[in-house]
C-alpha cells in the first residue's frame, strides 16, 4: 500500500509593501511522502513572495510536467512558473518557453554547485529569475512548520520576514539572476 501525502493547513497573512499586496490566504499543502518539511516550507515562502488570487500549487514533486506553483490567466496561458529546489537546466529552458516568467527558488548545500554548473546557460533566459536561500534560512523556516500553521509574511524595502507564535525568520534571498517580484508583477 502506498504512503499517502501528509496534509498541512496554513493561514498565511501577507503584507507586501513592495508590491502593494495585502491578503490572507487559507492554504492546504499536500506534502508528498518523499518531500521534506524544508522543501514544503520553501514552497510556502515562494507562494508568499509571488502571491495573488490566481497563484496555485501544482502537482509539484509528483509531476515532472508541472511546477510547484503557477499562475495562469483566464485563457490558460501560464504567466508564472515557479519551481523550488535544483531543477535540471533542460526543464528550466522548457518552462521558459511555456511561461511568461519562470522562477527558481534554490536551496540546500548543493545549490552553489548547481548554480556554478548551470548559471552561464540559464543567464541567457530573459524571463528567468533565480533566488537562493541559505541553509540557515530554510532550517529556521522548518522550525515554523506545523500541521496547522498561522503565519505572517511581510516584505518592505526588500526585507522579508516570516513569523508565527513560534518565532520570526528574517529571509534574505540571494538574487542569482533576475530579481524579486515588484509592483508591476
Confidence check: pLDDT of 79 > 60: yes
pTM across the whole model: 0.93
2 lies in some domain: no
Exposure class string for 49-70: b at 16+ Cβ within 10 A, else e: bbbbeebebbebbeeeebbbbb
185 lies in some domain: no
37 lies in some domain: yes
Total number of domains constituting the chain: 1
16 lies in some domain: yes
Domain of 94, CATH number, reads 3.10.640.10
Tell me what percent of the residues of the chain surpass a pLDDT of 70: 95
- Which domain covers residue 139, as residue numbers? 7-177
Mean pLDDT over 106-119 rounds to 96
Q: Please give the Cα distance from 137 to 174 (Å, whole number).
A: 11
Mean pLDDT over 162-177 rounds to 96
Radius of gyration of the chain (CA): 16
182 lies in some domain: no
Amino acid at each position: 500500500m502506498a504512503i499517502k501525502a501528509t496534509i498541512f493547513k496554513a493561514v498565511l497573512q501577507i503584507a507586501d509593501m513592495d508590491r502593494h499586496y495585502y491578503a490572507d490566504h487559507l492554504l492546504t499543502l499536500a506534502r508528498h511522502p518523499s518531500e521534506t518539511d524544508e522543501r514544503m516550507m520553501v514552497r510556502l515562502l515562494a507562494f508568499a513572495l509571488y502571491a495573488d488570487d490566481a497563484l496555485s500549487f501544482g502537482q509539484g514533486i509528483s509531476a515532472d510536467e508541472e511546477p510547484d506553483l503557477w499562475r495562469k490567466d483566464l485563457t490558460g496561458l501560464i504567466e508564472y512558473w515557479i519551481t523550488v529546489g535544483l531543477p535540471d537546466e533542460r526543464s528550466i529552458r522548457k518552462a521558459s518557453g511555456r511561461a511568461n516568467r519562470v522562477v527558481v527558488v534554490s536551496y540546500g548545500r548543493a545549490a552553489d554547485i548547481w548554480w556554478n554548473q548551470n548559471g552561464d546557460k540559464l543567464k541567457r533566459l530573459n524571463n528567468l529569475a533565480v533566488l537562493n536561500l541559505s541553509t540557515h534560512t530554510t532550517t529556521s523556516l522548518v522550525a515554523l512548520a506545523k500541521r496547522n500553521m498561522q503565519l505572517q509574511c511581510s516584505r518592505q524595502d526588500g526585507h522579508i520576514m516570516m513569523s508565527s507564535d513560534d518565532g520570526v525568520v528574517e529571509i534574505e534571498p540571494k538574487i542569482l539572476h533576475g530579481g524579486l517580484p515588484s509592483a508591476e508583477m
